[in-house]
Every structure is written in C-alpha cells, then in structure tokens.
Amino acid sequence: MPKDTGIGAPTRRREDVRFLKGAGEYTDDIKTYGQTVAVFARSTVANGIIKSIDTSAAEAMPGVLAVFTGADFAEVGGNPAGWLINSRDGEPMKEPKRPVLAHGKVRHVGDAYAAVIAETDREARDAAEAIEIEIEELPAIIDVKEALTGDNFVHDEIGTNQCFDWGWIEDNRAATDEAIKNAAHVTTLELVNNRLVPNAMEPRCSMATYKASDDEYILHTTSQNPHLTRLLISAFVMGIPENKLTVIAPDVGGGFGSKIYHYGEEALVLAAAKRIGRPVKWTADRTEAFLTDAHGRDHVTKIELATDAEGNFQAFRTETYANVGAYLSNFATATPTFLHGTLMAGNYTVPNVYVNVKAVFTNTAPVDAYRGAGRPEATYSLERVIDKCARELGMDPIELRRKNFIKPDQYPYASAAGLEYDAGNYDALMDKMEEVADIKGFAARRAESEAKGLLRGFGVNAYIEACGIAPSNLVGVLGSRVGLYDAATVRVNATGNLSVMVGAHSHGQGHETVFPQVVAEMLGIDASSIDIVHGDTSKIPFGMGTYGSRSLAVCGSAVVRATEKIINKAKKIAAHMLEASETDIELKDGSFTIAGTDKSVSFGEVALKAYIPHDFPLEDIEPGLEETAFYDPANFTYPSGAYCCEVEVDPDTGKVRVDRFAAVDDFGNVINPMVVTGQVHGGLGQGIGQALLEAARYNSDGQLESASYMDYTMPRADDLPFYTVDHSQGTPCTHNPLGVKGCGEAGAIGSPPTIVNAVIDALQSGGKNVTHIDMPLTPHRVWSAMNSA
Amino acid sequence: MYAFDIETPTTIADAVAALKADEAQPLGGGQTLIPTLKARLAAPSKLISLARVADMQGVSVAGDTLRIGGATTHATVASDAAQSYPGLAALAGHIGDPAVRNRGTIGGSIANNDPAACYPAAALASGATIVTDTREIAADDFFVGMFETALAEGEIVTAVSFPIPQAANYQKFVQPASRFSLVGVFVAKYADGVRVAVTGASEGGVFRWTEAEQALSSDFSADALKDLSVSADGMISDLHGTGDYRAHLVKVMTGRAVKAAG
C-alpha cells in the first residue's frame, strides 16, 4: 500500500490547481501602473559590421519614450561565462565580451542591436522598424570544422574561433591511445548530436521597475534561478548593488535550461526603467524565442571503442566539436566539458577514457545547457558505439553491456573519467527492464509487424548521469566561478503553520507539493499546513536555483537540515514546557513527548510558545522558531537506468513509429512517485523528439531555416507511445540525507540512443546494412539511408 | 500586426463591392492571412471578411453533384459531406487541427492554393468546378501554379461543385512539423475514368499524374502502378525531403489511395 502522505506518497500536485484553471501568474500577466513596452531591433544577417545606426526617425515616432543602441552599454560589463576551462596546453579559454546590445558587429540572426521603449506594443514595433541600420555583411561562420580554418572570426579581438581545446583526462591520453592501438577490436562511429531549440511554452519575459526615491530596482523575469540572475546583473553587467535589486521569477512556464541564463534583455529593461522613470516590459514573441533562447546540444563527435576479443571494454576515445554559438552563455563552457567528458565512462568498468572537446564560436544563437546538458551527448555517443560494437562482434547488445557493467559490490567506484560513483545496480535495472518490457514477446511482435510489411526493431540503452549539481569544492577546482550549494529557511509561524523559503525555483518540477511532503514527514504534521515560498530574492535565502536535477538532492537537503534545526529548537522549548530534560524529548506524530511517559505537548503548542515566550529562559532559548540551512553536497548524485523500446519502420516511406517504450530508472529514494513518473514522461517526450523530430538547422548564410513550428517539429501526443515506467530499483544516494538522486533529465538522456538503436535494428532486420543515421530520424533520412545501403 | 479596418458583408454583392476599395483584401477563415498579418508580413488597410456571407455557406447535394459554399469550414465539410462524398469529408477532417478546421474555409484554401494544401488535390482529382462571383472555372484551369490561381483581382470563390465519384480516397503523408502534406494524393474513380491529383510535391503546385490515371482507368488496382515512376524534376526539395523522396512518395501514396478506395 502506498502511503497517502509524507515521503513516498503519490500526492497530487497542489500547484496544478491554479495551472489547470489558468490562474497561474506569469511575468507577462503582471501589470503595473504606467507600464511601457520594450521591443528589440534584431539583426537579419548572421555576421556583419555595423557601419551606422540612425535612430532619429524612430525617436520622433508617436508614443516613443526612448531608443537604446549598443553605444549606450559600451561602458557596462559583459555577461560572463560561469566556468573557466583551460585548454590542453594550459591556456585559459577565450572569453570575448557579450554585450547587452550588439555594438560594432552583429554576430547571429536575432542579435539585438537596438531597443525601443514606447507606450504601446504597436508603437514600439513601428519605431523599431524605423531604425535605420547599415550593415556590411560578412560571410557567415556556421560549420564548426570550417570555423577553425581561415581568418574570418566571430570575434576579431581573439583572432580565432576556437574557445578552447580541452582534454579529459589529459594524463590518460597516452594510455588510451595505447589501449586502442593494441586492442583486438575497435569500433568507430562518427555522429552528430543535433541542435535543439528549447521551446518552453512561456517565452522569455522581463519587466523592470525603478524606484527613484530609494534607488531600487525590481526585475520580474522568467528565470530558473533568481539569485544567480541577480548576482550576474549586480556583479558583472550593471553594477547595481545586490541590496538595491530584487529579482522575482513568478510562475515560469518551463525552462529546460534556457531560463538559467542571464540575457541582455533583462539588463536593457532595467536601464530603460531608470532612464524613463516608468516600468518597462519586454515579452518575446515565438520568433525571438527561436532565434535568441540559448539552444541545446550541437556536437559533432567521433568516438572509438576498443575491446578485447571477448568484448571487454578497453578504452573509449572521443573527439568532439562543440558549437557554442556567437557568444558564451553562462554555462556554455561547462556543458560540453565537465557535464559531458566526466560521464564518458558510462556504467562500465572500462579502464581508459580520453575525451577531447573543441568549443567553437559560430554565427548562430548561443548554445548552452538544455535538459540533460552534456549527459545526453555523452550517453548518446557511448550507447550508440556500444550498440555498433555489439553488432560487429556478433554479441547480444544487452549481454555486451552486462559484461562490462560495474557490479554492485564495486561501490564506491572510481570511474576512468574521474568521478566517484557512490551507489548503483545496473544489472538489477536491466533485469527489471527485461521483465517489464516483455522482451520474450519481441519475436512474435516482430513477426506480426513483418506480416504488415513493416520492420520492427528493438533498441536498448544503459545510462548514468551526474545530478545534484554540485559539490562546490570540486567544481571550484574544475573551473566553476560559482558555488553550487542551495539554501532553505523554515519558518514556523505562531499559529503552527509553516512557510518554507527555498533557493530552488519550481517551473514544472512540483516543488510546492514535494518539499512539504519532506517537512511533513520529519515533523509528523499535515503537509497542507506547509507552504513553499520561492522565486523572490527579497523573500528567500541565497540559493542557486533549479537545473541539473538538483532541486531535491541539494535544496531538498537544505530543507532537511533546516527542519532538523527546527526540531532541535522545538525540543528545547518542549522540554522547558514539560519541565523535562531536552535529551528525554521525543518527536513523534507531531507531538513532543517525554520518553516513556504520556506527557506531551503538540507541535502547535510549541510553535505558539516560541512566539509568546512569557516564561522563556532567555539565556538558553531565543524567541521565535525559524531556521536557515545552506547545503553543499559532498558529491554528485548518479541516477542510472536501463531503457528499451520497439519501433516499426515503414520501408516504403521511412516513417518510424515508436510502439513501446520502457524506462527503468534508479533515482535512489523517491519522495513522490507520481511526480517522478511525470518527470520521466516529460523527459522521454523531449528525448524522443530529439531522436525523431527536432532539428534547429542553419543554412550556410546563417539563417535559421527551422525558425517556426511550420518547420521545427515538436513532439505531439500521437508521436509518442504509452510508456512503461519503473523506479522500483532505487539504490539510495549515500551522501545526502534523503538518499535521492534526481529525475528531471533522465528521460531526455536515456531515450535518444534507445530509439536510434531500435531503428538501426529494424533496418538490419530488413536486410539493410545501415549502421548509423544522424538524428533526427525523419522519414526522409531513414528512407535515404535505406536506399543508399 | 499593423492596424487595419474590417468589414463583414452578408451578401456576395456587398462583398464584391467592398473589395473594390483601395488595398482591400478578402479574408476567408484567416488560417494563412492572420498569421501573416501577425508576423507583419502583409499590411492591407482593409479586410473584407467573407465569413458571414449567407449564400456562401453549407453543403448541398443535387443529383451527382456536391456543392460546398466558399465560406464553409472544413469541420462542416467533414461532417456534412460524410454521407455524400466520404473521401472528401475525410480529407476535410484531417486538415490542421480542430481550431483550424473550425475557422478555415474551402474557398480560402482553394483561392490561396498553397502548394501543400489538401483541398486543391480533391478539387483537381474530382474535376470540380470553382464557382466565383462572375463565372465558373474548371479545376483544370483554376490552379495555375504555386499560390497562383485563375482568379482575377477582387474575384471571390463563392462555391465549389464536386462531381461525386464512385470511389475516392486521399492519402496524406504529412510534413512532420506543419502537418501540411509533404505529399498528398487524391484518387477519384468515375464511370468515365480515374483522376489522380498530387499536392505538396511539385514546385508548380497541385498537378495531375496522368500516367497513373491511364493505368488506373483500365485497372483500378495498386498493381497497375508498378511499372510507373514519377520524375523528380520540378519536385520541391526542402528541410523535410528532397525531390527524389517526394517523387517516390507520390507513387507510394497513390498506391495506398487506390487500395483504400477499394
């Protein structure tokens, strides 16, 4: 029987009541007296020198209050990269300035070079169209390999398009090369991890208000991490003191990574609000979202897998070109390196791993972390080459993986890519997957498909990822310029209900439901009396926000620590009230009891006493009942999983239909299984979207050809199968108090190679010697591959 | 969107008169025009909505002919033509999504002649007659090229008359993102022969595949197509498929339409 409250209960998401009724309050819903509108003028060419900008006609148009150009921000700071990567030769990465508005040069289609503030949206748009700009167009730099030849640079001041050339682990390079040279078998695969547009349902939106009397700013914005945004604006870009800037991220309609970052539009509305003395709001339209949200993935990789004659893995070696776009977004340098290279040992006891990543500037939108962030790229490379290897060796793909799995008695396990895995059981996941997916029935299902003229394929995948981002001391050594702890304040109000202020931000994750389950379990009280406060820097402690499946593992741990402090103090108060020793007080079912007696006081009575301390021993106990904790994890967490799927391919058209999909994940302990299932479903949808449908495609002129839903294929319900999801095989994380690992990205990490492996299997079953197709596996690509095999 | 005025006449005569105004543009269901306006890609000063013109509404059958008013929505065709011309009703029922089908109209679709739209294939394969405020135009003469028709400036499609076939079917292989047809083939079998019209594939817009028509007129089976092939010359090549692929799909979808038509 599942519990109906507390930890482990499939409690329905309380936030859904307002979302499903259309009562959520998003940034664009917030209307302020005197509000004005900002509209940006954006480059229609990918690369060019700004020869002149004339804003005079725009400034004279009706309703126009101000016009800004890059010159207005020439003196303010650049939007920085949050992670310093050093190249193999020890040289630090190249960090060209990312300005608020393009100045001197435009570097991608959509690059904003001016902004108009006007009374109405139409007036602002009319004026933006009236800005005259003369641009000397230069050839667009689009292809990552071509970008590293020649003398046409995205940023002339650095004299190269290479941001860095990173080796991981450089000291392992020679041994890896040697292992590959001497191996009985080497499988080589060249592949592209396709570029994606995040497509949050709510486009980005920012509204700034300036209060001249106090020289204070309030920024409402679509952010996954309001404190990080404030820090970037204050310390790097605008120089506004942190105590004069409040950042509020209210309800946010999805982020998937794209709303982690600080964008120039946020700085612009702040500057504009001060100049005109009125609130300024900018809301992206969908075209702006396509052109300017940080994109995801975009790796070009060659991977080699060396094995001995029996299929024991000897080495993985990769060479990757990672497109970072025109400017470094805040985590653009961490994503292809420490969130990718460190996972390149997978779930396996491979002794040698060497990863080389060249990050390359191009005239495209910035590329940064997108659901999974580096781990999908690692998993895809590994699990595709392993599948190819199994076929070459004539081995069963499940058996080849099992043969090389780290075994349960090997933890903690130091992987060849530099991480220490704390817990896992990959064979148990594979066992469960084989059971729930009814693998035994595959042959009969294949025969049925063939009778219909369709090719059925089976694909399997095992993944590991690193979540709970991240131990500050470790990431500091690796180049992070920030810490990655999180924070929580638990405030017990006098009447016994609780407000829990958290640094994590909920934009679809279900924090408002899940965090109270944890606190309720610890205090033995009803979760309905606990509310979460998040998203407002004036209300919450300094937390680093939500990404990297970190909310529960890191911020949830801070909630636990703060709640423990509450319990300790409440016990003191209870002991005083019961005239007993603090060490004799037990908390059970919401009451404080003297052990071995029936003398007790309720949690509510203790709360009231904390705020009406008439007879307190003030030398021992302070009034009030409110505690804050910061939690910095000791290690990453390591969710893992075994996925499989079956597809049907129509050989006449190349169309792929996903018929079945089973995802068996180890998320450690599960607080709310329904929320976890929902997270897996969402991740699978995005991963299947990447595998079959989605592609951000620039042409050689740097125009984004898939810049609308007419050409960018989002997954729809009828593209997706019913899923079999299981998370019964959890091995608790050993180093955080909840034993949780994180579930937000797993589906997007594990599914793309599963799908591609299945399609290759289907084509092979039809006698087509196709060994690889680059994602997305559109009907045309599959048909073309079949007809050239 | 730029500012514009809108008129909503209720008679064909009033609509035609209103369209004589400078820069006036007819508005059908708005499923193409409104997104175009929102993107500021067009700036008509005046829109003349045809949605409330009484004589352009609804589906009626007279003998072997199905007549559909120009302002009839796809949803209405999907339900009201289901008995008389099921192949056409099924086509209408799979255009876009429910929101599109409840707004978009047959007249708007035919007049716009998007090279990937569904209705032009049905009209051409059925040998339909396009009725305007001034004349009747055979479908064979109406569809001139991509986004081009025989309509004169200010002329509106008031109705489309479809001879009802013995059997018909439309097979749409969708462009995955837009779900317009990447290749759509409408096959209609009449007493005097078979007509096959293809949409989505050609740079010239909807066209008849005459070799297939001849083969199917003597043997209405997918097998009759097996020795035929479609040239990739003039086929659309884009993000979603090359000309070769589209040419191949024309044959595949034609075979499937014949099978489904029975």
Taking the C-alpha atoms of residue A304 and residue A107, their distance in angstroms, rounded to an integer, is: 35
Mean predicted lDDT score pLDDT of chain A: 97
Yes or no, beta carbons of A652 and B252 under 8 Å apart: yes
Looking at the fold, whether A756 and A681 belong to one and the same domain comes out as: yes
Yes or no, beta carbons of A122 and B3 under 8 Å apart: yes
Mean pLDDT score, A177-206: 98
Q: What is the pLDDT of residues A194-223, one digit of tens each?
A: 999 999 999 999 999 999 999 999 999 999
- The partner residue sitting opposite B240, judged by closest CB among A287, A778, A784, is A778
- The partner residue sitting opposite B242, judged by closest CB among A655, A714, A780, is A780
Q: What is the pLDDT of residues A645-687, one digit of tens each?
A: 999 999 999 999 999 999 999 999 999 999 999 999 999 999 9
Looking at the fold, whether A703 and A580 belong to one and the same domain comes out as: no
Taking the C-alpha atoms of residue A776 and residue A196, their distance in angstroms, rounded to an integer, is: 10
Within 8 A of B241 by CB-CB distance, chain A residues are 779-780
What is the per-residue pLDDT for B1? 87
Yes or no, beta carbons of B245 and A784 under 8 Å apart: yes
Within 8 A of B242 by CB-CB distance, chain A residues are 780, 784
Q: Domain range spanning residue A590?
A: 485-631
> Which of B32, B94, B174, B245 is best to mutate for the A interface (most A CBs within 10 A)?
B245
C-alpha distances (whole Å) from A737 to each of A512, A702, A733 are 20, 49, 9
Yes or no, beta carbons of B239 and A706 under 8 Å apart: yes
C-alpha distances (whole Å) from B101 to each of B73, B95, B121 are 6, 6, 17
| Residue A336, token pair as written in the block | 């292809």
> Which of A42, A121, A652, A690 is best to mutate for the B interface (most B CBs within 10 A)?
A652
Yes or no, beta carbons of B245 and A780 under 8 Å apart: yes
Yes or no, beta carbons of B240 and A706 under 8 Å apart: no
| Residue B252 distance to chain A (closest CA, Å) | 7
Within 8 A of B173 by CB-CB distance, chain A residues are 653, 655, 779
Helix A557-578 / helix A603-611 crossing angle, nearest 10 deg: 80
Beta bridge partners of B88: none
Taking the C-alpha atoms of residue A502 and residue A541, their distance in angstroms, rounded to an integer, is: 7
Taking the C-alpha atoms of residue A511 and residue A559, their distance in angstroms, rounded to an integer, is: 12
Q: How far is CA A466 from the centre of its chain?
A: 12
Looking at the fold, whether A124 and A111 belong to one and the same domain comes out as: yes
Domain with A66 in it: what CATH number?
Answer: 3.90.1170.50
| Residue A251, token pair as written in the block | 């309800």
Q: What is the pLDDT of residues A466-483, one digit of tens each?
A: 999 999 999 999 999 999
DSSP per-residue letters across A446-465: HHHHHHTT-EEEEEEEEEE-
Residue A677 lies in a domain: yes
Which distant-in-sequence residues (6+ apart) come within 8 Å of A88 by Cβ? A165, A166, A167, A170, A356
Nearest CA-CA partner of B201 in B124, B121, B255, B125: B121
Residue A551 lies in a domain: yes
Topology of the domain comprising B54-163: 3.30.465
Within 8 A of A709 by CB-CB distance, chain B residues are 177-178
Which pLDDT band, with edges at 50, 70 and 90, does A5 fall under? confident
Residue A170 lies in a domain: no
| Residue A710 distance to chain B (closest CA, Å) | 4
Query: A–B: how many Cβ contacts below 8 A?
Result: 43
Residues of B in CB contact (< 8 Å) with A are 1-3, 39-40, 173, 176-178, 239-242, 245, 248-249, 252
| Residue A409, token pair as written in the block | 């008695």
Total structural domains within chain A: 3
**Which of A611, A631, A651 lies at the terminal end of a domain, its last residue?**
A631
DSSP per-residue letters across A748-766: HHHHHHHHHHHHHHHHHHT
| Strands, sheet with B207-208, edge to edge from the N-terminal-most edge strand | B167-174, B181-190, B193-199, B207-208
| Residue A685 distance to chain B (closest CA, Å) | 15
pTM score, two decimals? 0.97
Contacts by residues A60-64 (CB-CB < 8 Å, ≥ 24 positions apart): A61/A118, A61/A123, A61/A126, A61/A127, A61/A130, A62/A123, A63/A118, A63/A119, A63/A120, A63/A123, A63/A124, A63/A127, A64/A116, A64/A117, A64/A118, A64/A123, A64/A124, A64/A127
Taking the C-alpha atoms of residue A303 and residue A280, their distance in angstroms, rounded to an integer, is: 49
What is the per-residue pLDDT for A2? 61
Q: In this structure, are residues B156 and B132 in contact, taking their beta carbons and an 8 Å threshold?
A: yes
The CA dihedral of A167, A169, A171, A176, to the nearest 10 degrees, is -90
Phi/psi at A713 (5° precision): -90, 110
Sequence spans of domains, chain B: 5-49, 54-163, 167-261
Q: Is B167-261 assigned to CATH 3.30.390.50?
A: yes
Looking at the fold, whether A501 and A423 belong to one and the same domain comes out as: no
Q: What is the pLDDT of residues A488-519, one digit of tens each?
A: 999 999 999 999 999 999 999 999 999 999 99
pLDDT per residue as tens, chain B (262 positions) = 899 999 999 999 999 999 999 989 999 999 999 999 999 999 999 999 999 999 999 999 999 999 999 999 999 999 999 999 999 999 999 999 999 999 999 999 999 999 999 999 999 999 999 999 999 999 999 999 999 999 999 999 999 999 999 999 999 999 999 999 999 999 999 999 999 999 999 999 999 999 999 999 999 999 999 999 999 999 999 999 999 999 999 999 999 999 999 8
What is the per-residue pLDDT for A723? 98
| Residue B212, token pair as written in the block | 């297939």
Residue type, A264: G
Mean pLDDT score, A754-769: 97
- The partner residue sitting opposite B178, judged by closest CB among A125, A287, A710, is A710
Domain with A496 in it: what CATH number?
Answer: 3.30.365.10
DSSP conformation class of A91: P
Within 8 A of A287 by CB-CB distance, chain B residues are 39
Sign of the Cα pseudo-torsion (A155, A156, A157, A161, in order): positive
ipTM, 2 dp: 0.96
Which pLDDT band, with edges at 50, 70 and 90, does A789 fall under? confident
| Residue A415 distance to chain B (closest CA, Å) | 41
Inform me whether the pLDDT recorded for A307 exceeds 90: yes
Yes or no, beta carbons of B176 and A709 under 8 Å apart: no
| Residue A341, token pair as written in the block | 């290279």
What is the per-residue pLDDT for B262? 83
Mean pLDDT score, A731-756: 98
What is the per-residue pLDDT for A3? 75
Residue A161 lies in a domain: no
Taking the C-alpha atoms of residue B46 and residue A23, their distance in angstroms, rounded to an integer, is: 36
Taking the C-alpha atoms of residue B230 and residue B261, their distance in angstroms, rounded to an integer, is: 21
| Residue A657, token pair as written in the block | 């239909």
Which distant-in-sequence residues (6+ apart) come within 8 Å of A174 by Cβ? none
Of chain A, the percentage scoring pLDDT greater than 90 comes to 98
Q: In this structure, are residues B21 and B46 in contact, taking their beta carbons and an 8 Å threshold?
A: yes
- Best CATH choice for the domain B5-49 from the list 2.40.50.140, 3.60.15.10, 3.30.465.10, 3.30.43.10: 3.30.43.10
Taking the C-alpha atoms of residue A555 and residue A632, their distance in angstroms, rounded to an integer, is: 9
Hey, how many other C-beta atoms are within 10 angstroms of the C-beta on A495?
Answer: 10
Q: In this structure, are residues A731 and A637 in contact, taking their beta carbons and an 8 Å threshold?
A: no
Q: Which residues in A564-595 are b (16+ Cβ under 10 Å) and which e?
A: ebbbebbbbbbbbbbebeeebbebeeebbbbe
Please give the helix or strand (H or E) that residue A386 lies within, else none: helix A375-393
What is the per-residue pLDDT for A311? 98
In B, minimum Cα distance to A121 occurs at: B1
> Which of A123, A697, A778, A781 is best to mutate for the B interface (most B CBs within 10 A)?
A778
Yes or no, beta carbons of A711 and B245 under 8 Å apart: no
- The partner residue sitting opposite B173, judged by closest CB among A653, A713, A714, is A653
Burial of A134 (C-beta count, 10 Å sphere; 0-12/13-18/19+): exposed
Q: What is the pLDDT of residues A714-730, one digit of tens each?
A: 999 999 999 999 999 99
Looking at the fold, whether A409 and A508 belong to one and the same domain comes out as: no
Residue A11 lies in a domain: no
| Residue B64 distance to chain A (closest CA, Å) | 36
